[in-house]
Chains A and B, each alone.
Chain A
Amino acid sequence: MGAPAARPAPPDPKGSCHERPERAGGGRAVSLLSPAAERTAPAEPSAPSPGGAWRARLNRFDLKFSPYLLISPFFLIFLVFGAFPLVYTLWVALHDWGLSSGTRDWAGLGNFDYLVHDPDFWHAVVNTVGIFVLSTVPQLLLALGVAALLDRRMKASTFFRIGMVAPLVTSTAAVAIVFTQLFDRDFGLVNWLLGQLGAGAIDWQVSRGWSWAAISAMVDWRWTGYNALIFLAAMQAIPRDLYEAAAIDGASRIRQFWQITVPLLRPTIVFTVIISTIGGLQLFTEPVLFGVGSSNRMDGGSMHQFQTITMYMYDNAFGHDRYGYGAAIAWALFLLIIVFSLVNFLLIRRAGDAK
């Protein structure tokens, strides 16, 4: 690697160390060397004073503004495609807004008023919360259990870990299709298995509760391993002496788990619960694909039995050209997520303090 030949020169004075054109190539080569080589690479002579002043100015400019330049792509994209839409949603929600009809009438709080009295909306809220509870609670409990298992010293631990997150690398749409077939009334493997056990077949798509269960199974399956790994990472940070001491005191493993592991995992549990809340309340892909065979798959079944809030929003906006009302639903969903996250947070904190 060709470091530029050392020239007899005084060390570079601070403040004129921008990259000079004539040494751009050489500079690159130097920088690829190890840190040590980088540091010992001879400094270039500073240029004569007129150029030096110019370079010093350029350098000051670089020091002062480059940070902003480096972070600007994020803020540019975020302002246009993140922040603006967020605010604009509110504006749209205050109108009766149709894109294909060209309507754009001021509605004030009309959409929100309608929302509060809209039984279909509340129906979707109940569905969403039901699926959310069914998918989050077993998921996190299972994940805790799996993490506790993986935390043991064992052979082939990497193999097991990789196997647990395999569901994560499938696509949501693909999973939904596979599970929809597994839960098929006539030909599904789940009903076949139930039949083997002597139970009757379940019409998973038609019943409200069973459709929630089937959709929750998709979510559980996909995310349990991921959460287990997060819990595992936190468990491994717990000092083993604690367990040793507890064992000496005669605490069983189960007791150790509830008295040591779970309390120390509380911040991580809060994190996973909040992440699951944000994701769970926005559920969309799974129920949409679960509705195969129905005429409008945004309906979530013939009786809207598994229509989630996001599906209802999507259907209003893109299906029925009611963008204003759709935007109002989006705001309601956002509020719901905040409320749920807060409630979950407080519940977990309370549960921890009670111990």
Chain B
Amino acid sequence: MTTLPARRPRRPGRMRTLWDASPLTYVALVIALALSVFPIYWMIVVATRTNDVVSDVPPPMIPGGHLGENVRRLFDNPDAYFAKGLVNSAIVSGCVTVATVFFGSLAGFAFAKLRFRGRNALLLTIIATMMVPVQMGLIPLFMIMVKLGWQNHLQAVIVPFLITGFGVFMMRQYADQAVPDELIEAARVDGCSTFGIYWHVVLPALRPAAGVLGLLTFMQTWNDFMWPLAVLNPDNPTVQLSINNLANAYFKDYTLMFAGTTVAVLPLLVVFVLFGRQIIGGIMEGAVKA
């Protein structure tokens, strides 16, 4: 680094040279990017080829033309229950996402904008719940499901996750700064009930944060593995369990397994391509507030 000459009047210009990315920065970033994307690319390459791929030297790096065939084998596979897994995952993730956004914004609004006794203590409780690992309750939760007769039913993987502490907290943080108090007062004077205010004033204002929360919740629910594994049977799986079924019995049939992972990841990739910017914004904004 060269020593800079004494103070010159053109400060912005100098800052630019200081902060501009050097060619080396780009090189390093391109390498990082390649590492970051390669396994996904490799998954697609294998999913589009035949099983000869595994012994090919050097390994092929370009997608082949067998994707349709592999996907057909996937859906025909008697042990994977793949179609059922996809439908189940869509139902579960959809329900949990809608509920989390709805209940989270309700509670977040209350904590951010309404006055009531015990508000701070209750909010602290919610934050504390975010620290407790899921594994802690796994065994009793399973016992509850057995008692309720929900074992192997989808409600077992939906109902306990209808709302999370994270959802409430995130919506509270956003509502706090996104909804002006005057607006709420005005709506009250105007004759809105508390729920009316939520529906007509708060919810529209919360839409950006609700979108991010919805995306994160959907991805998380779609990916959930341990709890569905514990409470659902292999013949009524979520899509992750379908993959697991394949891994149990067909682990040498790479193209079949990779077709499975590709299809299972596809909805997430679509979501990501459409909303990548928002996801990044959500992560970074959350980080600043944390």
A and B interact: yes
- A contact residues vs B (CB 8 Å cutoff): 11-12, 14, 17-20, 23, 27-28, 30-32, 35, 38-39, 41, 43-44, 59, 62-64, 66-68, 70-71, 73-75, 77-78, 80-86, 88-89, 92, 99, 145-146, 149-150, 152-155, 158, 160-175, 177-179, 181-182, 184, 187, 189, 192, 221, 224-226, 229-230, 232-234, 237, 240, 243-244, 247-248, 250-253, 268, 271, 278, 281-282, 284-285, 288-289, 292-293, 297, 310, 313-314, 317-318, 323, 326-327, 330-331, 333-334, 337
Shortest C-beta distance, A99 to chain B (Å), equals 7
Q: Report B173 CB to chain A, min CB distance, Å.
A: 14
Given A31-B200, A165-B280; A171-B37 close (CB under 8 Å): no
State whether B258 touches A19 (Cβ < 8 A): no
Does the CB pair B190–A38 fall under 8 Å? yes
Q: B51-59, B64-72, B73-81, B206-214: which lies at the A interface?
A: B51-59
B192 cross-chain contacts in A, Cβ below 8 A: 17-19, 27, 31
Q: Which residues of A contact B287 (CB under 8 A)?
A: 229-230, 233-234, 268, 271
A78 to B240, CA, bound (A): 25
- B191 neighbours in A (Cβ, 8 Å): 12, 17-20, 23, 27, 43-44
Inter-chain CA distance A29–B15, complex, in Å, is 51
Is the beta-carbon distance between B106 and A73 smaller than 8 angstroms?
yes
- Given the complex of chains A and B, what is the CA–CA distance between A175 and B240 in angstroms? 11
Q: CB-nearest residue of chain A relative to B33?
A: A163
Contact A81 B144 (CB under 8 A): yes
Q: Tell me which of B186, B192, B195 has the highest count of chain A C-beta atoms within 10 A of its own C-beta.
A: B192
Contacts of A221 in B (CB 8 A): 35-36, 39
Min distance, Cβ A169 to any Cβ of chain B, angstroms: 4
Q: Is there an interface contact between B283 and A165, defined as CB atoms closer than 8 Å?
A: yes
Contact, CB under 8 Å: B140 / A327: yes
Let me know if A230 and B230 touch, CB within 8 A: no
In the A-B complex, list the 8 residue pairs whose CB atoms are closest, starting with the nearest. Answer: A31-B200, A85-B137, A174-B261, A66-B194, A81-B160, A154-B21, A85-B140, A152-B21
CB-based contact A250/B165 at 8 Å: no
> In this assembly, does B254 line the interface, its C-beta being within 8 Å of a C-beta of chain A?
yes
- Supposing A77-B163, A310-B135 touch, asked if A170 and B40 sit within 8 A by C-beta, the answer is yes
- Further 15 A-B residue pairs, CB within 8 A, beyond A71-B122, A82-B132, A166-B40: A43-B191, A74-B104, A81-B137, A81-B160, A86-B140, A154-B25, A177-B257, A179-B39, A181-B54, A229-B284, A253-B1, A282-B134, A284-B226, A292-B248, A314-B138
Contact of A234 among B39, B135, B165, B288 (CB under 8 A): B288
Specify which chain B residues have a CB less than 8 angstroms from the CB of A232 in the assembled complex.
Answer: 284
* Range class of the B interface residue count: 35 or more
Chain B at the A interface: mostly helix, strand, loop or mixed?
helix
In the complex, chain B residues 234-290 whose Cβ is within 8 Å of any chain A Cβ: 239-240, 243-244, 247-248, 251, 254, 257-258, 260-262, 264-265, 268-269, 271-272, 276-277, 279-280, 283-285, 287-288, 290
A153 near B20 with CB under 8 A, answer yes
Q: Given that A171-B261, A229-B280 are known contacts, is A30 also in contact with B1, CB under 8 Å in the complex?
A: no
Chain A residue numbers with a CB within 8 Å of B1 are 247, 250-253
A86-B59 in contact given A163-B33, A178-B43, A233-B288 (Cβ < 8 Å): no
Choice from B28, B146, B269, B272 contacting A149 with Cβ under 8 Å: B28
In the complex, how many residue pairs between chain A and chain B have their CB atoms under 8 Å apart?
351
**Contact between A173 and B190 (Cβ–Cβ < 8 Å)?**
no
Q: Which residues of A contact B199 (CB under 8 A)?
A: 31
- Cβ contact within 8 Å between B223 and A167: no
Chain A CB within 8 A of B174 CB: no
Q: Which residue of B lies closest to A18 (CB)?
A: B193
* Measured CA separation A92–B138 after assembly (Å): 12
B143-198 with Cβ < 8 A to chain A: 143-144, 146, 159-160, 162-163, 165, 168, 180, 182-183, 186-196, 198
Assuming the contacts A73-B162, A81-B144, A153-B21, asked whether A19 and B107 have C-beta atoms less than 8 A apart, the reply is: no
Q: Are B283 and A89 in contact (CB under 8 A)?
A: no
With most chain A CB atoms within 10 A of its CB, the pick from B4, B20, B59, B225 is: B225
A residues near B189, Cβ cutoff 8 Å: 11-12, 14, 17, 43
Q: How far is the CB of A166 from chain B (nearest CB, A)?
A: 6
The residue on B at minimum CB distance from A217 is B39
User: How far is it, in angstroms, between the C-alpha of A62 and the C-alpha of B191 when the chains are bound?
Assistant: 12
Q: List 10 A-B contacts (CB under 8 A).
A: A35-B180, A39-B186, A78-B126, A86-B140, A88-B137, A149-B32, A150-B29, A174-B43, A310-B135, A330-B135
B62 at interface, CB cutoff 8 A = no
- Contact in complex: B20, A326 (CB < 8 Å): no
CB-CB nearest in chain B for A174: B261
Determine which of A80, A89, A170, A289 lies in contact with B136 in the assembled complex, contact meaning CB atoms within 8 Å.
A89
What are the residues of chain A within 8 A of B219 when measuring CB–CB? 168-169
Instruction: Please determine whether A171 and B223 come into contact, CB atoms closer than 8 angstroms.
Output: yes
A243 contacts B18, CB within 8 Å?
A: yes
A184–B46 alpha-carbon span in the complex (Å):
14
